[in-house]
Amino acid sequence: MASQAKIAQKFARQLFAMSLVDGTVSADRVSGVLAYVEKHNPANPVMLLKAYRRFISAELAKSVAVVEYAGAIDDAMLAAIGAAMTKKYNRAVSTTAKPSPALLAGLRVQVGDDIYESSVAGQLAALAASV
């Protein structure tokens, strides 16, 4: 017998799959899924919706490149990073700039769970770890 959490997780995964159109999250489909859950009131709706939200959030994060930087960064650089990430992931990736003085100099780009770092702070941390 499967636990309630596993059942909710499996159902949330099915609802998530129904929310995708051509590999991207569809706002209309998400609205439809939420209306279905509200109307049919499944077992453990809070657990189900939390799991569903995690799936949707993780998928949406794959389409945004968060660019942390120290110093100045211009729109052309952000556009170039967005174009490079779009090409790498074969999907539209938008960029969001976030100042981070802790980097000292350089950039850190995060797309979903992937992190690309070229900063002085990252190089110093790698050097400290190797000593």
Does the pLDDT at position 13 exceed 90? Answer: yes
For the chain, what are the domain ranges?
A: 4-61, 64-130
The per-residue pLDDT for 2 is: 67
Segment 37-49, tens digit of pLDDT: 889 888 888 999 9
Which of 29, 32, 103, 35 lies closest to 72 in space, CA to CA?
Answer: 103
The confidence band for 1, taking pLDDT boundaries of 50, 70 and 90, is: very low
Segment 50-100, tens digit of pLDDT: 999 999 999 888 888 999 888 778 888 889 989 999 999 888 888 988 888
Which uninterrupted H or E stretch holds 16?
helix 4-18
Mean pLDDT of 111-119: 84
The per-residue pLDDT for 32 is: 92
